[in-house]
A and B are shown apart, each in its own frame.
Chain A
Amino acid sequence: MTAVADDPRTTAVEQGRTAAGSPTLLGKRSIAKMGVAAAALAIGLFLLPAITSTFWVKNLTSAAILAIVAGATGMLYGRVGLVALGQMALYGLSTWITLRLSFATDLPFPALVLIAAVITTIFGVILGLPALRLSGIYLSLITLMSAAGFLVILSEAKFPNGGPGFKGLVQEVTNRSEMRRPDIAIGDFAYYRYVVIAMVLTYLLALIHVVGKPGRAWASIKQSEAAALAAGINTTTYKLWAWALASFMTGIAGGLLAGHVKSPSVFPFIVEQNIILIAVVVMGGVVSLWGGIISGLLAAVLPELFQKIGVSDRWSLILFGVGLTVNLLITSHQLDKAGIRE
């Protein structure tokens, strides 16, 4: 990816030229990176399911889904300098929409996920349009407040379970329907592969943006919004673009989660999860999209790993807290660039 864009000595204009120039994209380094990515994908798709149990495959599915949300959050943080603390609300919203559509229609699974992602994007943009007038700490706070407010609504509304009406709720246990999965991925192993491919596709979508014109505009905005404005970049449009893309990615993740857990609870979307998400995103790294995958693994697999070795999964919270603190202290130069400068 655009390694040059991370060098503070490089100006926004220079970054644009380098990122746009094909030698960087098709150079030896890029080819090596693509090779590593292909190898990682092959291991993820074929080797891991072959050597692990259903339990771990389910956890890896959760990790791949969370990696999409983490990738979106990391992209906003690392590429545009926007710290969103409410991504889990959009994630929950998309899960709710997917479930509701699944029970109300006979649409195929990919269509459900895509429609949910588009509706989530629209919601994200509606929220983002006024919120993006804010930045730094205020943007983080408004997103966190939105997420906390959404959680209250979600806790009362609950997730649809096949019932009638707008909420789609039915009280009787026997009448409950189950969220369907795609025909080609009914089993847990097949669904895992399905989710990994979906994750790769969303990451490719993000990558296309990062190495293209929007990515160069985002890099400029991150370095200095005032300078970007002076250079003629429509900062509002590009920030909203990034916001919409992150919402879309999160929407895809929400749809995939609905197919994964089938009857979700509110727990994955509680306020605490937003904080954990930002902690693992910072720990995984916000500069590279690979950080999103590490973040997903940390958030979904680490607590289960703790339990497997007889340690309380609650220790993962401490680890995330320590990881966030240490990363903030050590990688100051990277994170300061990610935040809006004073």
Chain B
Amino acid sequence: MIDTNQLFPFLMSGLGFGAVYAMSGTGLLVLYRTTGVLNFAFGAIGAFGASITWSAIENNWAPDWVAYLMCIAFCGAVTLGYGLYLAPRYANRDDLNKMLGTLGLALILLGFMFNLWKTEDARVFRLPTGTRRVQIEWFCNSEGKECVFDARISYTQILAVVFALVVAAGVTVYLKRTKMGTAMRAIANDREISSLLGVPVRRIEAIAWLGSGVLCGIVGLLLVDLFGSLDVVLMTWFVIPALAPVLVGRLRHLWVAFFAAFAIGVVEAELNASTWAWPSLYRKTTAYVVAIVALLWFARKRNLVISGRSTR
């Protein structure tokens, strides 16, 4: 039923994707808590930024590291621009309309990507960490030929896990220990009262947008490396499974979402180890099934019937 030799390699692979889910989730959750916007354009912005990086590398516009920075800068700028100019127009609207607004941005960016790049062609670029791999061989027999834990993982996978952990820990400390973080939590509780108390709402929201945008750029770069190619459609709608752990965390609990992200990533990857065909074929439904079950579980006492700020 399960190919035990494959469990460990798939675990490593799953941790890499789980880390990307975790980073995306952190960006989405913090932004939602601060501004009430569930940013569905997260994936599209990241894909656009990664496409710029691909063009920069392919056409030798700049050294590779500058190209990577271009992606992060673009994602930060677009997200901040949306946060500064369009998001305030939705400020007094319910969360649903705010979310639909970001869907509009996702469609616009996707349309531009289709028009600016030949998206049908395979586009590939690797991060420096993607080409280097490390061999893990733990609990080997005396000859060293057979190991209980045997896998070859890329430095990108390690980087993703470490970075996800650093981001989640950093955000937690930032929210709990800094003045800005306290202000963010105040806005998350009540935007209008925070404003009346003198909290610079627009500035705090701008910081949240910028931070989310930077994360979006990093996730975009990591995804290209982990997927092995730049597929703008796949990356644009990657935001949907990435929302699953955020929903498990009730759009509120960062660390619940963080661990749920890793759990989803690992389960999704481990289903590949099954000797039956169907778990592997339908493994991509994992995130959706988890999200649906979580939503229905939380709704059993009808505590999610009222959308918007009351549940935040």
**B-binding residues in A (CB < 8 A):** 83, 130-131, 133-138, 140-142, 144-146, 148-149, 152-153, 156, 225, 271-272, 275-276, 278-279, 282, 312, 314-325, 328-329, 332, 335-336, 339-342
Q: List 19 A-B contacts (CB under 8 A).
A: A83-B96, A83-B100, A133-B299, A133-B300, A136-B308, A142-B296, A145-B295, A272-B110, A272-B233, A279-B107, A314-B111, A318-B108, A319-B111, A322-B104, A324-B101, A325-B104, A328-B100, A336-B97, A339-B93
A340 to B307, CA, bound (A): 7
Asked if A312 and B115 make an inter-chain contact with CB atoms under 8 angstroms apart, the answer reads yes
By a CB distance below 8 angstroms, the chain A residues around B289 are 149
Q: Which of B92-116 contact A (CB under 8 A)?
A: 93-97, 99-101, 103-112, 114-115
Partner of B291 from the list A130, A141, A318, A324 (CB cut-off 8 Å) is: A141
Q: A133-B302, A156-B282 are in contact. Are A312 and B114 (CB under 8 A)?
A: yes
Partner of A135 from the list B93, B104, B115, B307 (CB cut-off 8 Å) is: B307
Please tell me if B30 contacts chain A, counting CB pairs below 8 Å: no
Q: Which of B227-284 contact A (CB under 8 A)?
A: 233, 236-237, 240-241, 243-244, 247, 281-282, 284
- How distant is A8 from chain B, measured CB to nearest CB, in Å? 15
Asked if A324 and B96 make an inter-chain contact with CB atoms under 8 angstroms apart, the answer reads no
A165 to B142, CA, bound (A): 51
By a CB distance below 8 angstroms, the chain A residues around B284 are 152
Asked if A315 and B111 make an inter-chain contact with CB atoms under 8 angstroms apart, the answer reads yes
Residue of A nearest to B108 (CB): A321
Residue of A nearest to B302 (CB): A133
Q: A149-B292, A276-B107, A321-B111 are in contact. Are A328 and B243 (CB under 8 A)?
A: no
Asked if B299 and A134 make an inter-chain contact with CB atoms under 8 angstroms apart, the answer reads yes
A336 to B247, CA, bound (A): 24
State the interface size on chain B (CB cutoff 8 A).
52
By a CB distance below 8 angstroms, the chain A residues around B106 are 275, 321
Asked if B100 and A138 make an inter-chain contact with CB atoms under 8 angstroms apart, the answer reads no
Interface of B is mostly: helix
Interchain Cβ contacts within 8 Å, total number: 166
- How distant is B243 from chain A, measured CB to nearest CB, in Å? 7
Please tell me if B288 contacts chain A, counting CB pairs below 8 Å: yes
A198 to B146, CA, bound (A): 66
Partner of A145 from the list B86, B110, B244 (CB cut-off 8 Å) is: B244
Asked if A137 and B306 make an inter-chain contact with CB atoms under 8 angstroms apart, the answer reads no
By a CB distance below 8 angstroms, the chain B residues around A320 are 107, 111
Residue of A nearest to B40 (CB): A275
Asked if A315 and B115 make an inter-chain contact with CB atoms under 8 angstroms apart, the answer reads yes
By a CB distance below 8 angstroms, the chain B residues around A319 are 111
Residue of B nearest to A340 (CB): B307
Asked if B107 and A339 make an inter-chain contact with CB atoms under 8 angstroms apart, the answer reads no
Additional A-B contacts beyond A137-B38, A138-B299, A146-B288 (6; CB < 8 A): A145-B244, A153-B285, A314-B115, A318-B108, A319-B111, A329-B90
Q: A148-B288, A149-B288, A328-B101 are in contact. Are A135 and B306 (CB under 8 A)?
A: yes
A169 to B309, CA, bound (A): 48
Asked if B309 and A342 make an inter-chain contact with CB atoms under 8 angstroms apart, the answer reads yes
Please tell me if B177 contacts chain A, counting CB pairs below 8 Å: no
